[in-house]
């Protein structure tokens, strides 16, 4: 069943996928349930850009996630949900139960006016209903746009408006560690400026008091009592939109990355099965939130397509204490565990007895995603969690790639700490130099591009196809540009070195520096600001903001508080700067461009060699910034 079993087989599969990509993917796609098979496997043009997979094919992804498993695995657990509070019971939903819950939810959506092609925003806590709502959208052919429930009302508003969603699904509130988040009131605030929204469907989770607006807001449980659980799957074209997911880039507002039904389905399942070397009856746990691409592909779609048991966790790694992940691994006998380096580093910094008191003997495969994993964290993960007997798959990929692109196959590919190692079959990475020339051979470094289409690649950016072309397909002609720098070592193994654009990765969350600058600029005392990333022990990168103020005679502690409040309101608490420095000027060239290279060096604390500063309009600002740098 599409599974590679040895490193030799990997190399064979890889060569085949390059020799005959269409034949290769047609064979993988053949194992799914299609209403109608394709006429043509692939049509592509990276200049347009236009990429179409399995043309003319008809399907519904939820029939592949649910219906097709009912006969043989209907009673198998599909979703194993672990609540925030360890004293609340976990919930097991079998494939049969999940199928019926998805169909009922789909009927609620229909009752509330949802139709094929509509965009539906999901702003929800990590409850089973979030996975169910996601699949319910796909069931009726509506496009889901999941917005991480840590984003602010403004961010939610922008995303709803960009995709002109007509329905939003939310909850009264969400539990996150010791805190609750008032989701419904955040939605209410956003909806003051969202004319396209006709309905909000509200899950009761925390039981807190909320305002329900007559004619707009309905309770999910009341709606569910009015529908049955029979809902035929909408027949979708392979290239119909499945979902949009917003992600930050180096300029402007976050863009809606669009994925389509057929190709995404094939690649989600294929990559899941092979990277993790999934075996029937494995308990699989990805700790991400469904609000990110990792949750879409490797909590919901990939595992369910493969008929696996996928664990969903509502809470945070440190509640009630920093042993919670390991508690859950033992409690549910997790075999495959997939998390982010930032979580590993945070837990590594806690008392080791929180790890030692757990057996962790069910674990077989460990995964890492979201940012480069430093060697120290890799070894700790390997030794303390994997006890030296679990391969670590360091998976490199992006919202735009839909699925894992470069990664070891667990137990098959030789491992090198901090290396994502080798591309999956069907993925053709290449490195390019500053002039756009491909760098051939090994022991080289350059910008990472992909030179051939793969089934789950981005199709467009919602509502603005030109932006998709500009951002991903214009830097290097005929290639998809990832925005990442990369080294290919003497063995041909890939190591991602980090972003080469103005995107920073804070605890695995992507932000454009321009996006954070725009938020800080909204503070009335800020004239101009420049934001850069700097190395941060736990978060990977921290956010360093340099701000020019109208009134420089401010109480700095108060000012920092206010900036944090502003950024929290405009983006969300995850984008708060770690350090803020008030400056009188920014290092600008004569043409007005901020020399971020200098600001990055100062933020890093490396002021000895700032490189060439001769093109600066006023070199004295650098001295002032150096002297006032907030280093600790
Ligand atoms: C899955 C995800 C994408 C960016 C990407 C990289 C960085 C992700 C790794 C990594 C080094 C990894 N999607 N990144 N995985 N860097 N090693 N294994 O994270 O769209 O949110 O972010 O994350 O810079 O371009 S994302």
**Ligand 1 centroid to residue 522 C-alpha, Å:** 29
- Using the predicted structure, report yes or no on whether residue 629 has a pLDDT greater than 80: no
CA dihedral 105, 108, 109, 110 (to 10 degrees): 120
As given in the structure block, the two tokens for residue 198 are 């006709």
Residue 417 in domain: no
- Give the model confidence (pLDDT) of 112-148 as tens digits: 999 999 999 999 999 999 999 999 999 999 999 999 9
Q: Tokens 């094939």 belong to which residue?
A: 266
Residue 63 in domain: no
CATH of the domain at 107: 3.40.50.980
Ligand 1 site residues, Cβ closer than 6 angstroms? 247, 292-294, 369-372, 394-399, 420, 482-484, 496, 499, 505, 510
As a whole number, mean pLDDT of residues 569-574 equals: 96
Predicted local distance difference test score (pLDDT) of residue 591: 85
| pTM of the predicted protein model | 0.97
Alpha carbon of residue 220 to chain centroid: 27
Predicted local distance difference test score (pLDDT) of residue 612: 80
Residue 326 in domain: no
**Ligand 1 centroid to residue 146 C-alpha, Å:** 19
Residue 73 in domain: no
* Number of CB atoms found within 10 A of residue 116's CB: 12
| DSSP 8-state symbol, 27 | H
Residue 581 in domain: yes
Give Rg (Cα) of the chain: 24
**Ligand 1 centroid to residue 150 C-alpha, Å:** 19
Can you say whether residue 156 is alpha, beta or left, with left for phi > 0 and alpha for psi between -120 and 50 degrees? alpha
As a whole number, mean pLDDT of residues 435-460 equals: 97
Q: Which residues contact 495 (CB under 8 A, 6 or more apart)?
A: 416, 418, 419, 420, 486, 487, 488, 489
Best of 146, 398, 487 to mutate for ligand 1, by most ligand atoms within 8 A of CB? Answer: 398
* Domain's final residue, options 171, 206, 234: 234
- Using the predicted structure, report yes or no on whether residue 630 has a pLDDT greater than 70: no
CATH of the domain at 605: 3.30.300.30
Best of 296, 299, 370, 483 to mutate for ligand 1, by most ligand atoms within 8 A of CB? Answer: 370
In angstroms, the CA 425 to CA 412 distance is: 14
Predicted local distance difference test score (pLDDT) of residue 168: 99
Range of the domain at 602: 503-630
3-state secondary structure of 620: helix
Predicted local distance difference test score (pLDDT) of residue 608: 81
* Domain's final residue, options 207, 234, 261: 234
* Domain's final residue, options 215, 234, 253: 234
User: What average pLDDT is seen over the chain?
Assistant: 97
Number of domain units in the chain: 2
Nearest to 216 by CA among 239, 175, 184: 184
Predicted local distance difference test score (pLDDT) of residue 1: 65
Residue 99 φ/ψ, nearest 5 degrees: -55, -45
CA dihedral 86, 89, 92, 93 (to 10 degrees): -110
pLDDT above 90: percentage of residues in the chain: 94
- Using the predicted structure, report yes or no on whether residue 615 has a pLDDT greater than 90: no
Looking at the CA of residue 373, tell me the nearest atom of ligand 1: 17
Predicted local distance difference test score (pLDDT) of residue 549: 95
In angstroms, the CA 44 to CA 34 distance is: 22
- Using the predicted structure, report yes or no on whether residue 631 has a pLDDT greater than 60: no
Predicted local distance difference test score (pLDDT) of residue 590: 87
As a whole number, mean pLDDT of residues 280-304 equals: 98
- Give the model confidence (pLDDT) of 489-517 as tens digits: 999 999 999 999 999 999 999 999 999 99
Residue 569 in domain: yes
As a whole number, mean pLDDT of residues 519-526 equals: 97
Residue 412 φ/ψ, nearest 5 degrees: -105, -50
- Give the model confidence (pLDDT) of 393-439 as tens digits: 999 999 999 999 999 999 999 999 999 999 999 999 999 999 999 99
- Give the model confidence (pLDDT) of 239-258 as tens digits: 999 999 999 999 889 999 99
**Cis status of the peptide bond prior to 49, with omega within 30 of 0:** yes
Predicted local distance difference test score (pLDDT) of residue 604: 93
Residue 11 in domain: no
- Using the predicted structure, report yes or no on whether residue 632 has a pLDDT greater than 60: no
Residue 412 in domain: no
**Ligand 1 centroid to residue 573 C-alpha, Å:** 20
* Number of CB atoms found within 10 A of residue 211's CB: 8
CB 501 within 8 A of CB 487: no
- Give the model confidence (pLDDT) of 306-343 as tens digits: 999 999 999 999 999 999 999 999 999 999 999 999 99
Predicted local distance difference test score (pLDDT) of residue 617: 86
Strands (E), 324-426: 336-339, 365-369, 392-395
Nearest to 307 by CA among 345, 269, 339, 277: 269
In angstroms, the CA 391 to CA 123 distance is: 35
Residue 141 φ/ψ, nearest 5 degrees: 80, 15
For the residues of 339-354, what is the DSSP string, one character each?
A: E-HHHHHHHHTS-THH
**For ligand 1, atom 22, which residue shows the shortest CA distance?**
398
């Amino acid at each position: 069943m599409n599974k590679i079993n040895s490193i030799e087989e990997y190399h064979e599969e890889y060569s085949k996928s390059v020799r005959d990509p269409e034949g290769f993917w047609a064979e993988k796609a053949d194992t799914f349930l299609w209403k109608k098979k394709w006429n043509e496997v692939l049509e592509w043009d990276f200049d347009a850009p236009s990429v179409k997979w399995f043309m003319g094919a008809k399907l519904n992804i939820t029939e592949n996630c649910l219906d097709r498993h009912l006969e043989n695995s209907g009673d198998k657990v599909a979703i194993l949900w672990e609540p925030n509070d360890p004293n609340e019971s976990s919930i097991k939903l079998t494939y049969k139960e999940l199928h019926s819950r998805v169909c009922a939810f789909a009927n609620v959506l229909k009752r509330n006016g949802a139709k094929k092609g509509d965009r539906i925003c999901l702003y929800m806590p990590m409850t089973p209903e979030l996975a169910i709502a996601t699949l319910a959208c796909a069931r009726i052919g509506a496009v889901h746009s999941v917005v991480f429930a840590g984003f602010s009302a403004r961010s939610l508003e922008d995303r709803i408006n960009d995709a002109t969603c007509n329905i939003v699904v939310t909850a009264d509130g969400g539990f996150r560690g010791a805190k609750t988040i008032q989701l419904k009131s955040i939605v209410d605030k956003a909806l003051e400026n969202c004319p396209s929204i006709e309905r909000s469907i509200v899950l009761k989770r925390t039981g807190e008091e909320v305002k329900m607006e007559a004619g707009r807001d309905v309770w999910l449980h009341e709606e569910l009592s009015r529908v049955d659980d029979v809902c035929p799957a909408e027949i979708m074209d392979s290239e119909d939109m499945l979902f949009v997911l917003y992600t930050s880039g180096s300029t402007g507002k976050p863009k809606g990355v669009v994925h389509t039904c057929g190709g995404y389905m094939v690649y989600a399942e294929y990559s899941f099965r092979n990277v993790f070397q999934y075996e029937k009856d494995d308990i699989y746990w990805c700790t991400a939130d469904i609000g990110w691409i990792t949750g879409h592909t490797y909590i919901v779609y990939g595992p369910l397509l493969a008929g696996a048991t996928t664990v969903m966790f509502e809470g945070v790694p440190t509640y009630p204490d920093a042993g919670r992940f390991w508690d859950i691994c033992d409690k549910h006998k997790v075999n495959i565990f997939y998390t982010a380096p930032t979580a590993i580093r945070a837990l590594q910094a806690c008392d080791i007895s929180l790890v030692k008191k757990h057996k962790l003997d069910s674990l077989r495969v460990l995964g890492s995603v979201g940012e480069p994993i430093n060697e120290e964290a890799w070894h700790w993960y390997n030794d303390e969690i994997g006890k030296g007997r679990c391969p670590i798959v360091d998976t490199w990929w992006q919202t735009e790639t839909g699925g894992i692109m470069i990664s070891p196959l667990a137990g098959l590919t030789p491992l090198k700490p901090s290396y994502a190692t080798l591309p999956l079959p069907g993925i053709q990475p290449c490195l390019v130099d500053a002039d756009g020339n491909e760098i051939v051979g090994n022991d080289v470094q350059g910008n990472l591009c992909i030179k051939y289409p793969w089934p789950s690649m981005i199709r467009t950016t919602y509502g603005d196809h030109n932006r998709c072309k500009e951002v991903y397909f214009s830097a290097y002609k005929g290639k998809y540009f990832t925005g990442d720098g990369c080294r290919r070592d003497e063995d041909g193994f890939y190591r991602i070195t980090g972003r080469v654009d103005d995107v920073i990765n804070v605890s695995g969350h992507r932000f454009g520096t321009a996006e954070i600058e725009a938020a800080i600029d909204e503070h009335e005392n800020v004239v101009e600001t420049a934001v850069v990333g700097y190395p941060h022990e736990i978060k990977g990168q921290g956010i360093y903001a340099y701000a020019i103020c109208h009134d420089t005679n401010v109480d700095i502690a108060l000012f920092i508080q206010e900036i944090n409040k502003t950024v929290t309101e405009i983006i969300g608490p995850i984008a708060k700067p770690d350090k803020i420095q008030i400056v009188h000027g920014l290092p600008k060239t004569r043409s007005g461009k901020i020399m971020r290279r200098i600001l990055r060096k100062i933020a890093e604390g490396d002021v000895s060699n700032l490189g060439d500063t001769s093109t600066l309009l006023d070199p004295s600002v650098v001295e002032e910034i150096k002297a006032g740098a907030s280093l600790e």
